[in-house]
Homo-oligomer: A and B are copies of this chain.
Amino acid sequence: MSHTARLLISCPDARGVVASVTSFIHDRGGNIVDLDQHVDPDSNAFFMRVEVERGTLDIGPGEFDESFAPVRERFLLNARCEWCDRPKRVAIFVSQEDHCLADLLWRFGRGELGGEAGGEVVGVISNHEVCRAQVEAGGLAFHHLPVTPETKAEQERTAMALLGELDVDLVILARYMQVLTPRFVAAYPSRIINIHHSFLPAFAGARPYHRAHERGVKLIGATSHYVTDELDEGPIIAQRTAGVTHRDAVADLVRKGRDLERLVLAEAARVHLDDRVLTLGRRTVVFG
């Protein structure tokens, strides 16, 4: 658990926002540990992330909203404060390919994404049984929700109920091969992260490695993004590519791609858990 709170702000750009917000924090005894801001030149939207030590801050979660209201109203701020008083509760969805799952479990287990880093896996949900053993070996709950065309709607309701019970903050789709319905997506806005195995927007949709091979590209990629109603069209959080040659068959692309997928999904999870991501339409601001 972090000893800091993070204030995330977006608003129409205006003179004096930084000074007003930082003075507000200073006046409440807060020490600014990290501050990053950005103005999008096209939309004139202003974004800021301020990380504040909680130790000397003389207000807490209960008082913040009222206390901050004058600043918020003056600048029409869209603001939220992450108090970090508990780790974010994470559910991982997976189908049969376990490379991202295994990687995430390692990272959460060793403190790279968990503990101080802010996350805790509270359950793994799968439409297959193959990953049960490794999940349970780590002392985590594994929920098998098999999906057929007939049961898909009902199983998604079951999954959503489960997420509600588990009080989940973040859903990670670690190669989960089912498309979520708009209802599910709407319940977790900018809180469902997917990994797609191509450098989007190239090869959106199915079988990207096969199509990349057919097209004869000289690099492959992976993309992590927030899920929206349009398939593979959500705001991109991280992307990577790696070179391939004529010697690489589809199976080599798949193998090389797994390394990219692991890295790119873990990176997205890390910056999300660290409250570093804000969205602007189909784009993201990811503060370093």
Residue ranges of A at the interface with B (Cβ–Cβ < 8 Å): 15-16, 18-20, 22-23, 25-27, 31-42, 56, 98-99, 102, 106, 110, 112, 137, 199-203, 214-219, 221, 223, 235-241, 245-247, 249, 255, 258-259, 263, 281-286, 288
Contacts of A36 in B (CB 8 A): 36
Instruction: Across the interface, name the chain B residue whose C-beta is closest to A134.
Output: B137
A273 CB to closest chain B CB (Å) equals: 13
Instruction: Across the interface, name the chain B residue whose C-beta is closest to A225.
Output: B216
Contacts of A26 in B (CB 8 A): 15-16, 18-20
Instruction: Across the interface, name the chain B residue whose C-beta is closest to A235.
Output: B216
Roughly how many angstroms separate A216 CA and B282 CA in the complex, as a whole number? 6
> Are A286's CB and B25's CB within 8 A?
no
A208 CB to closest chain B CB (Å) equals: 11
Contacts of A223 in B (CB 8 A): 218
Given A22-B23, A218-B239, A246-B286, 17 more pairs with CB closer than 8 A: A15-B56, A16-B26, A18-B35, A19-B22, A19-B27, A22-B22, A102-B106, A199-B199, A199-B202, A200-B215, A218-B236, A218-B286, A221-B241, A241-B241, A245-B286, A259-B263, A288-B288
A134 CB to closest chain B CB (Å) equals: 8
Q: Which of B19, B201, B235 contacts A202 (CB 8 A)?
A: B201
> Are B217's CB and A236's CB within 8 A?
yes
Roughly how many angstroms separate A245 CA and B96 CA in the complex, as a whole number? 33
Roughly how many angstroms separate A258 CA and B281 CA in the complex, as a whole number? 27
Roughly how many angstroms separate A238 CA and B246 CA in the complex, as a whole number? 11
Contacts of A255 in B (CB 8 A): 112
Instruction: Across the interface, name the chain B residue whose C-beta is closest to A283.
Output: B216
Roughly how many angstroms separate A31 CA and B17 CA in the complex, as a whole number? 9
Contacts of A98 in B (CB 8 A): 110
Instruction: Across the interface, name the chain B residue whose C-beta is closest to A202.
Output: B202
Ordered by A's residue number, 23 sampled pairs between the chains whose C-beta atoms are within 8 Å are A15-B56, A19-B19, A19-B22, A19-B23, A19-B25, A19-B27, A34-B38, A40-B246, A102-B102, A102-B106, A112-B258, A200-B215, A202-B202, A214-B282, A216-B236, A216-B284, A217-B236, A218-B237, A218-B239, A241-B241, A246-B285, A259-B263, A288-B288
A101 CB to closest chain B CB (Å) equals: 10
A202 CB to closest chain B CB (Å) equals: 4
User: If A201-B202, A217-B239 touch, does A33 touch B39 (CB 8 Å cutoff)?
Assistant: yes
Contacts of A238 in B (CB 8 A): 218
A207 CB to closest chain B CB (Å) equals: 14
User: If A23-B19, A201-B202, A241-B199 touch, does A38 touch B219 (CB 8 Å cutoff)?
Assistant: no
Roughly how many angstroms separate A38 CA and B287 CA in the complex, as a whole number? 13
Instruction: Across the interface, name the chain B residue whose C-beta is closest to A112.
Output: B255
Q: Which of B200, B259, B288 contacts A247 (CB 8 A)?
A: B288
